[in-house]
Structure 1
Amino acid sequence: MSFLHINNIKKRFGDTTVLKGIDIAIEKGDFLVLVGPSGCGKSTLLNMIAGLDSISEGELLLNGERINELHPARRDIAMVFQSYALYPSMTVAGNIGFGLEMRKVPKAQRREAIQKVARMLQIESLLDRKPGQLSGGQRQRVAMGRALVRDPQLFLFDEPLSNLDAKLRVDMRTEIKQLHQRLNTTIVYVTHDQIEAMTLATRIAVMRAGELQQLGTPQEVYDDPSNLFVAGFMGSPSMNLLRADIVRHEGVLHARVRKRDEDALMLPIERDAEALAGWEGREVILGIRPEAITDPASAHHDGRIFEAELEVELVEPTGADMYVVTHLGGREINARMRPGTDISAGTPTRFAFDVSRMVAFDPDSEARIRHT
């Protein structure tokens, strides 16, 4: 039996259904990230798990126990909020130990638990300070300490890093991941940042407009997207999506993609060839990640590499990589090349396509075309 089972959960506000039957099961020790754009329902679902919002339909099971009607204080769940929600008049030690005090935990035991968590989060020197004397990252550590000191069955994080600057967000992300690995805790984490999701999760649930689009490991969601939304949402830069016709050329199935000069690029189909054979003579949306389009010297030859000459429109060095924009299939596409590759805008350049990584989607339903 799953440790946490969100079983066909629905949420209605009057006549409006904001969660439309979410079904997710995770095991003890999993790090589940709920990711999606603003308004997709991920925070509402988190609040329902915490008991801060009622469930309109469905069942919520934690370690085999139905908790739909259980009071939040009795769920053995700790939540870390986006706003930190610290008491400004209390010291750091007081904030961390407040929940234990409310549960009548003896003072000596509270002090020991606070010290243990403070050592873990490296905030021992801050225990006598007030929240107003702390930086954003320090406040976030205190909020995490308040949750950790309870040693609950389940941790919930509601966009905890969104108020931090870019560098601190990366640092705190690393700390949260290390904390999870060290304690083997079960976490449900909400974010709209897909890089955060890919970095932290053992399982990702991609949501859109109150519906679950895909549930899987970070690699599954990235390499094997179930539909156009997941393909476009996960990844930075996102997957290139371009129109192509499925044709048979010299006995081999190809994706024919229009170039800017009205000529066509013929990319041999490697993946899902059996399913795509049924699309011969029809148009699909072809998806290919920027890193699967590169300079020939950088191409991974364990895949099937197809080279073509295209004109470079823009070069964007980022230090670790160099992104190159060209035009294909009626739109701009991104390629990722080695830093320092000798190319410039306006010049024809050889691009290497790893066609083994191409995926295709139905233009009408937006679903992935694959073997069933």
Structure 2
Amino acid sequence: MAFLEIDRLVKRYGATDILKGISLSVEEGGFLVLVGPSGCGKSTLLSMIAGLDSISEGEVRIAGKRMNELHPSQRDIAMVFQSYALYPNMSVAENIAFGLEMRKVPKAERDKAVAEVAEILQMGHLLKRKPSQLSGGQRQRVAMGRALVRNPQVFLFDEPLSNLDAKLRVDMRTEIKRLHQRMKTTIVYVTHDQIEAMTLATQIAVLRDGVLQQFGTPAEVYNNPANVFVADFMGSPSMNLIPAAVRAENGKTVVALQREGEGDLVLDPGQAGEKLSAVLGKTVLFGIRPEAITDHDGADRNARTLVDAECQVEVVEPAGSDTFVVAHLGGKHVIARMRSDVPVRAGHRAPFTFNMDKAVFFDPQTEQRVA
């Protein structure tokens, strides 16, 4: 049975629906990440779980108990904000213990809890400092410590790393993942950063304009996007989306991509061929991740359908462990992810290998998955 249940949740301001019937469920100890562009409703959803925002329709249940009418203090939830929200006149230890003090927890018990949390977060040496004496990452640790010390049923994180620089974000991401593995508490985490979502989550909910686009594991959302929005939003670089004509050749269904100044590039769609036969003669959007277009020697040898084709190289971008190679197909710039030492040059033709096991196809009108 699900531990946290969000059942047909609607948030309405006047005649405008901000959230439009969101349904999600998370097992106990799960890590749910709400991801989507700014204004999609993810922070509103988090606030409704916390009780900071009212529910227009639907229910929030934790451990089978309806939360709708309960005050935030009665929900056994702890929230970590983007802004840290630390008291500047208090020491780190006092900030962490403040919630316990408000609940009249005895001092000896408070001190023990603070010491345990400080050990978990490796910040025992910071307990006497004031927030002004801390770095951004240290302040975020204090904010997390203040939530941890309460030992709640559910942790809510609202874009906690967005104020940190790039390297510190990676470090703190690792900290949060390690913390979750150790504590095994249910977490709901809001971010617009899809890399954060992919690395932290056990489940991802992708939102757009208040509508749930897809809900699944990171692998499901990344490898089997439900629509064009999810395909484009998840992944960096994002999925290549190329117009392709569906044809029948020699009794087989194929997809054809236009190439400037030469004949079409015809690809065997592999397993997707049977479903694509229903749209013969039509144009689809052919979706394929950059890592599924590579040089021949770097291709997945276990793939069932590998297609080799020569393409004109426009741009070569060395990126350390990889080389990103840009070609032009179907009127679109297509990014391939090749090995770091691949011998390709801009302005020259080069062999590309397409792993068609990883290909997905969408209807260009509805933008929904067709194969």
1:271-290 correspondence runs (5 A): 271-290=271-290
Matched with 2:358 is: 357
- Sequence identity percentage: 62
Any idea what SS the aligned residue of 1:231 has? helix
Task: Determine the C-alpha separation between the residues in 2 that align with 1:31 and 1:356.
Answer: 29
RMSD value, Cα: 0.7
Q: Which has the higher mean CA deviation after the structures are superposed, 197-206 or 249-258?
A: 249-258
Instruction: Give the CA deviation at 1:132.
Output: 0.5
What letter corresponds to residue 63 of structure 1 in structure 2? Answer: A
Work out whether 1:142 is the aligned partner of 2:152: no
Matched with 1:42 is: 42
Instruction: Give the CA deviation at 1:272.
Output: 2.9
Matched with 2:258 is: 258
Matched with 1:348 is: 349
Task: Determine the C-alpha separation between the residues in 1 that align with 2:97 and 2:215.
Answer: 36
Any idea what SS the aligned residue of 1:143 has? helix
Superposed CA deviations along residues 90-111 of structure 1, whole A, max 9, x for unmatched, are 1000000000001110000000
Task: Determine the C-alpha separation between the residues in 2 that align with 1:66 and 1:202.
Answer: 24
1:195-234 correspondence runs (5 A): 195-234=195-234
Instruction: Give the CA deviation at 1:340.
Output: 1.8
Matched with 1:308 is: 309
Matched with 1:65 is: 65
1:178-193 correspondence runs (5 A): 178-193=178-193
Matched with 2:334 is: 333
Matched with 1:294 is: 294
Preserved CA contact (<8 Å) 1:271 1:358: no
Superposed CA deviations along residues 103-148 of structure 1, whole A, max 9, x for unmatched, are 1100000000000000100110110111011000000000000000
Q: Which has the higher mean CA deviation after the structures are superposed, 260-269 or 234-243?
A: 260-269
Task: Determine the C-alpha separation between the residues in 1 that align with 2:66 and 2:246.
Answer: 49
1:74-223 correspondence runs (5 A): 74-223=74-223
Preserved CA contact (<8 Å) 2:95 2:146: yes
What letter corresponds to residue 65 of structure 1 in structure 2? Answer: K
What letter corresponds to residue 329 of structure 1 in structure 2? Answer: G
What letter corresponds to residue 368 of structure 1 in structure 2? Answer: R
Task: Determine the C-alpha separation between the residues in 1 that align with 2:247 and 2:143.
Answer: 57
TM-score (norm 2): 0.99
Any idea what SS the aligned residue of 2:271 has? coil
Task: Determine the C-alpha separation between the residues in 2 that align with 1:302 and 1:259.
Answer: 28
Task: Determine the C-alpha separation between the residues in 1 that align with 2:321 and 2:89.
Answer: 45
Task: Determine the C-alpha separation between the residues in 2 that align with 1:271 and 1:191.
Answer: 34
Q: Which runs of 4+ in 1 moved over 4 A?
A: none
Q: Which has the higher mean CA deviation after the structures are superposed, 30-39 or 257-266?
A: 257-266
What letter corresponds to residue 134 of structure 1 in structure 2? Answer: L
Task: Determine the C-alpha separation between the residues in 2 that align with 1:286 and 1:210.
Answer: 27
Superposed CA deviations along residues 234-268 of structure 1, whole A, max 9, x for unmatched, are 00000000100111111111111111125101111
Instruction: Give the CA deviation at 1:273.
Output: 2.5
Any idea what SS the aligned residue of 2:105 has? coil
Superposed CA deviations along residues 2-54 of structure 1, whole A, max 9, x for unmatched, are 10010000001111111000000110010000000000000000000000000
Any idea what SS the aligned residue of 2:368 has? coil
Preserved CA contact (<8 Å) 1:225 1:368: yes
Task: Determine the C-alpha separation between the residues in 2 that align with 1:77 and 1:273.
Answer: 48
Preserved CA contact (<8 Å) 1:225 1:231: yes
- Figure out how many residues of one structure are paired with residues of the other and give that number: 370
Task: Determine the C-alpha separation between the residues in 2 that align with 1:179 and 1:72.
Answer: 24
Preserved CA contact (<8 Å) 2:253 2:274: no
Any idea what SS the aligned residue of 1:48 has? helix
Task: Determine the C-alpha separation between the residues in 2 that align with 1:320 and 1:89.
Answer: 47
Matched with 1:31 is: 31
Instruction: Give the CA deviation at 1:321.
Output: 0.8
Preserved CA contact (<8 Å) 1:48 1:55: yes
Superposed CA deviations along residues 257-301 of structure 1, whole A, max 9, x for unmatched, are 111125101111113332211001111011000001001110112
Q: Which has the higher mean CA deviation after the structures are superposed, 322-331 or 270-279?
A: 270-279
Preserved CA contact (<8 Å) 1:228 1:367: yes
Preserved CA contact (<8 Å) 2:87 2:131: yes
Q: Which has the higher mean CA deviation after the structures are superposed, 296-305 or 138-147?
A: 296-305
Task: Determine the C-alpha separation between the residues in 1 that align with 2:262 and 2:158.
Answer: 49
Work out whether 1:366 is the aligned partner of 2:344: no
Any idea what SS the aligned residue of 1:128 has? coil
Task: Determine the C-alpha separation between the residues in 2 that align with 1:145 and 1:343.
Answer: 50
Preserved CA contact (<8 Å) 2:254 2:273: no
Superposed CA deviations along residues 56-95 of structure 1, whole A, max 9, x for unmatched, are 0001111100000100001000000000000001100000
Q: Which has the higher mean CA deviation after the structures are superposed, 137-146 or 299-308?
A: 299-308
What letter corresponds to residue 138 of structure 1 in structure 2? Answer: Q
Any idea what SS the aligned residue of 1:263 has? strand
